[in-house]
Chains A and B, each alone.
Chain A
Amino acid sequence: MAAGPNIAPRAAVSQQALHAWLLLLPVLALLVAFTHWPALATLVDSFFSTPRGSRPGQWVGLENYQVMADDPVFWQAVRNNLWFAGATIPLSMGLALAMALWVNERLAGRAFLRMAYFTPTVLPMIAVANIWLFFYTPQYGLLEQITGALGLPSHNWLGDPSTALACITLVAIWKEAGFFMIFYLAALQTLNPSLKEAAAIEGASRWYYFRRVQWPLLMPTTLFVLVNAVVNAFRLVDHVFIMTRGGPDNATSLLLYHLYEVGFKFWDAGYAAAITVVLVGVLASVALLQFFVFDKRVHYQ
């Protein structure tokens, strides 16, 4: 098992260790330079007040966290993000799975379907958000034209706090589902077709086949997609910048968006650092949890 020619075990071990560290060196150097060190700097910053011009920051302990806890906009952003995540994760994954299942069958025009589902991934959010803005525009927007034709009342979708978040969520689901579909599709196509034949011969219903055969075999893919979905639930805020800018009255403010506002609009470095720490902490724990589950699953196979 040792790499390299036969040498005394102890020397072999340290030679192994040396090789390993050499292999890791580029990656670790980059990570430290661009992730760990800045992150530590941010953590440290969170305990200092915001430096202003020539006045340096001063140690204030947990004051920034206190400010964060007292800030109603922060809690609104947390609530919004939880709703956002709670909707985008299952819906985008569910739709992705449905899309993959459909495209996998011999459906009429499935090349078109595949392309249609995948298109959102290819269009840059910066441009696409403007198109969705049109869809939601009151009076002559597309949605408005459709509801008007159906005789339904007019509505200011993005301007109404009760519907704005749902609209934003829809755009995110639209952007993500096709992307996840590809992973499910690939996984489905590697399933042994004899399984399907066997199930059919046994007289199992399609639903049974899905639930008992396909779904368990898709588990690794599902976990992979889940990780991506969770990260994206906190990362996808580009469309907020263009469509609602966090409004109306913070109804669509998401955590990363709020962080951006505090850090790069208010230039409140101390408070922004505190939010960063919280955001990263939450995500890190979710990620580590998932990965250790992922790890176990694979080993059981």
Chain B
Amino acid sequence: MSARDLPRRGPALYTVSWLDTAAAWMLALLWILPLVYAVWTAFHPAEFSARFDLAAPWTLENFRHAWQAAPFARYFLNTTLLVAMILAAQLVLSTLAAYAFARYEFRGKNVAFALVLVQLMIMPDILLVENYQTMARLGVVDSLLAIGLPYFASAFAIFLLRQTFLGIPRELDEAARVEGASALQTLWRVYVPLARPVYTAFALVSVSFHWNNFLWPLVITNSVESRPLTVGLQVFSSVEQGVEWSTITAATLMTSAPLLLSFLLFQRQFVQSFMRAGIK
């Protein structure tokens, strides 16, 4: 597509058939349909949420209504901070732990690793009541910290990083040792840079999970100052009154727009950062 692509000289290898193009496009159109519908419904008055009359008037009323219904700017800030905080904690803690598992020998290592793996399957939603009690005892109920704490230790990240660290040749270790680096310095200078693609991949998993997380934040937060977007959006989703598609799609667009736009603008860089050495 651009000069950055790897050179493909010579005969066109495996030209793409029209069948492929058609199928890919059809799937893409199906996939983007909900977003298209959201755009349609958000910008048109409520009568047109089920009627696709192309002559329908455009309006910003839904956005105004949605914006007034809840302090979305604050929710946005909260969610961004929350996701960043969780990711930062996860990266730091799992790097340390993975290093320990990959490069140290000690008694009880396998038991510790098994304990870590257990967390992979236990969804915090199930442990809601007990975790709420713990937070209450710590006195942090209704804070971003309380939302994030149960997630700071990520078995998934530890597993991935341990895998990656195991694959790094020990000669590099020794080279660093020769230069007088301590264990932690070796970690920072040798291991972390080499594991960058894994960090990126994990970051994607973590961000998309925590951006969408709903039930635990609902239970543990009370005030606007700590409430994330999903809980804020919920106000449009309550069933008793009936679904108002125009408002909920306006709210959705408002809250997803930054993510969508940044993906649109940065998708090449995004994928390329994975490209540097995929998940192996």
Q: Are A16 and B106 in contact (CB under 8 A)?
A: yes
Question: What is the bound-complex CA distance between A231 and B268, given in angstroms?
Answer: 28
Question: Does A79 interact with chain B (Cβ within 8 Å)?
Answer: no
Complex contacts, A186 vs chain B, CB 8 Å: 197, 201, 271, 274-275, 278-279
User: How far, in angstroms, from A42 to B268 measured CA to CA in the complex?
Assistant: 45
Are A122's CB and B260's CB within 8 A?
yes
Q: A56 to nearest B CB, angstroms?
A: 15
Number of A-B contacts (CB under 8 A): 299
* Contact flag A106-B16 (CB < 8 Å), given A24-B100, A28-B115: yes
* A-contacting residues, B223-253, CB 8 Å: 229-230, 233-234, 236-237, 239, 243, 245, 248-249, 251-252
Interface residue from B105, B125, B277 paired with A260 (Cβ < 8 Å): B125
B83 to chain A, nearest CB (A): 13
Chain A residues lying within 8 Å of B38, measured Cβ to Cβ, are: 123, 127, 131
Provide the main secondary structure of the chain B interface: helix
Instruction: Count B-side interface residues using an 8 Å CB cutoff.
Output: 110
Docked complex Cα distance between A71 and B11 (Å): 64
- Asked, given contacts A128-B34, A130-B237, whether A27 binds B118 with beta carbons under 8 Å apart, the answer is no
Q: In the complex, what distance in Å separates the CA atom of A186 from the CA atom of B279?
A: 8
Q: Does the CB pair B31–A126 fall under 8 Å? A: no
- Chain B residue contacts of A115, Cβ below 8 A: 32, 263-264, 267
Chain B residues contacting A221 (CB-CB under 8 Å) are 278-279
Within 8 A of B (CB), among A127-163: 127-135, 137, 140-142, 145
A17 near B106: Cβ-Cβ < 8 Å: yes
Which of A103, A111, A187, A280 contacts B122, CB < 8 Å? A280
Count of A residues near B, CB < 8 Å? 111
Q: Once bound together, how far apart are the Cα atoms of A78 and B272, in whole Å?
A: 41
The chain B residues found within 8 Å of chain A, CB to CB, are: 1, 6, 8, 10-11, 13-14, 16, 20-21, 23-25, 27-29, 31-35, 37-38, 49-52, 93-94, 96-97, 99-101, 103-107, 109, 112, 115-131, 134, 149-150, 152-153, 155, 158-159, 163, 166-167, 170, 182-183, 197, 201, 204-205, 208, 211-212, 214, 229-230, 233-234, 236-237, 239, 243, 245, 248-249, 251-252, 255-256, 259-260, 263-264, 267-268, 270-271, 274-280
